Amino acid sequence: MPKRKRVQREHTEDWKTIQQYTLWPEQTAYELLRPVVLFGDPAIQRAKETGEPRPTLERKADAFDEQGMVSLFASRPRKQPQETARSLPPDMRQLIVDLRVELPTMSLREIAEICEARFQRRPSHNSVKMVLASGPPPSINTRRYQTWDQIPDPAERRHAVVQLHAEGWSITSIAEYLATSRQTVYTTLKRWVKEGVRGLDDKSRARKAPRVVTMEIANEIRKKQENPLIGEWRMHAALLQEGIKVSPRTCGRIMAKHRALYGWDKQKAPPKPKKEMPFKASRRHEYWSIDIRYIEHHQLPNIKGPVYVISVLENFSRMLLASAISERQDTAAYLWVLAKALRNYGAPEAIVTDSGGVFYSKRAMAIYEALDIRKERIDPRQSWQNYIEAHFGIMRRLADYYLNKASTLDEMKKAHRKFIRDYNCQIHFAHRERQDGRHSPQDVLRGVLARTLEASTLARIFFATEFIRHLDRSGYIRFRRWRFYAEEGLASQQVQVSIYTSTLKIEYQETELAFYTMEWAEDNKHIKEVKNPRLIETGYQSPHLKLWTLGPDEWLLFLKLPDYTARKKPQRKPDVIQLPLLDPDENQREPRLIMR
């Protein structure tokens, strides 16, 4: 009796058992539909038995009625089994292992790209990782190519680069494998693409154009070189006058050869004596240097002209005593910076400036005289005599980048304050040879004060009067029957009001808020007119959102208040009014007032 080819099983209608018996997806699909299409069972009943959605059963049953058994077969090809390390051909597996031996730092994905370039099949990086872990032993023990410097033939070097790149190696891997630069690999490949095999050999670097300098020209240079003071530029100009075009650099090179051949000495200019600084300080606070620097390439949209940096430098320690960013360079701005330095460090023996008008104004000269400060001036067009010019050079290198990048005046002032802190704390070139270990301006000054001055004395000298006011909730102050706006964000805060000639300044904790130009009345006590309001942008902004933003010309920055009216003397009224008695003869008599 022949052996059965198939296993005999018991007939069943249980769907889970039937699923175990089926071998192909098409067979499973038919068994799913068989009760519906053969016996006419409802699709909803079959859905409950199998757990399949009822719409899916109905759709597949309709397709079976129209197409027959063809509807059971999928229209798309079957998915290929997932690639594994064991499914890779032996040659590819061997290549993967050999590549890791040649260059251990090569990435898994680059190994896959090299396999794709050789076998037109790219394995996944996970398969490459599995092959490296459990693959065959490497078939090579030595390098295929030596390093770039060890290959004697230049053509062979470049051929190694081209060959590795053709195998799929990246530029970085080739440069690392041959121990050369990536630029060398790029240059070699460009020459290969442009010239082919001819680009592998070295090119001659010999001069292809005829030499400019002939023996006649060299002899002419020798003749003119008898003058030991002539230089390469003058030699170039003299030859050009005769119709001989030779660059100054070439003239200098030929003149150097002649000096070496004939033993001529190059004439050197006499050494210039080192200039002594006329205002070199021998003790602290002997000289203060003051100047104003322009910041022209700023990014402040509201300021069209330059921004000014007014600085005070102590010559002995090179410490920056006071410095401020200002929108103007008038006397008031200069005196504000000078007053800050005097208030913190005292009065120096002398102040050194150039011939700027603000340094020699009547008010400034009066302050120098009142404080017993000697005024010194550098020579015309000799800015090197002022120590602060060297400081401005340091500021140009350290702070200009951040000052020019600031988009608001507050950001610029913040960057300037950071520069002051860094400059005073960092080591200074002028103190590099000190033996006491003090190499920064702050350490050299050591907090030593000059001739100290009382705050009341400075206030009396610098400003005619100073007042204290409080801002109302809208940011205004009341002063001399006028209202002046300062800053709404500082409502109810105490501010200082300073008057200098015709300028009224409002400041809060040494931060300028606003400036106004006033015209005094004839009595020099009352303000007749106010004009030219200037608000300073600060960080004290109101936290409340505004419904709309008004420009400076759309709202009142100052307002004159009505004058006081004269008080009228109150009239005293009588306490008692006594009417006369009824008298027929005196009916027309007026009432008499009795005052008590």
- pLDDT tens digits, one per residue of 81-100: 555 555 788 889 899 999 98
187-189-191 Cα angle (round to 5): 70
DSSP β-ladder status, 287-295 and 350-353: parallel
The C-alpha atoms of residue 370 and residue 453 are separated, in whole angstroms, by: 12
For 499, the 3-state DSSP assignment is strand
Q: Is the pLDDT of residue 571 over 80?
A: no
What pLDDT sits at residue 596? 43
pLDDT band at 594 (very low <50, low <70, confident <90, very high): very low
**More reliable by pLDDT, 596 or 564:** 564
Pick the closest to residue 29 from 18, 17, 40, 14 (CA basis).
18
Q: For residue range 384-422, what is the model confidence (pLDDT) as tens digits? A: 899 999 999 889 888 888 898 899 988 999 999 999 998
Alpha helices (H) in 51-166, listed in sequence order: 54-67, 90-102, 108-119, 125-134, 154-166
Pairing status of strand 350-353 against strand 374-377? parallel
Is 0.85 surpassed by the pTM of this model? Answer: no
- In this prediction, residue 9 carries a pLDDT of 78
Reading the block at residue 73, the tokens are 């077969």
pLDDT at 376 over 60: yes
Largest CA distance in the chain: 177
Q: What are phi and psi of 592, to 5 degrees?
A: -105, 135
State the Cα–Cα distance between residues 40 and 47, nearest whole angstrom.
14
pLDDT given for residue 143 in this prediction? 87
Q: How many residues does the chain have?
A: 596
pLDDT average, residue stretch 195-200: 87
pLDDT band at 28 (very low <50, low <70, confident <90, very high): confident
Contact 353, 386 (CB under 8 A): yes
CATH 1.10.10 fits 144-202, yes or no: yes
CATH class of 287-445: alpha beta
pLDDT > 70 in the chain, percent: 88
Distance CA 43, CA 158 (A): 74
- Nearest Cα to 295, choosing from 287, 305, 285, 284? 305
Of the chain, the end-to-end C-alpha distance in Å amounts to: 160
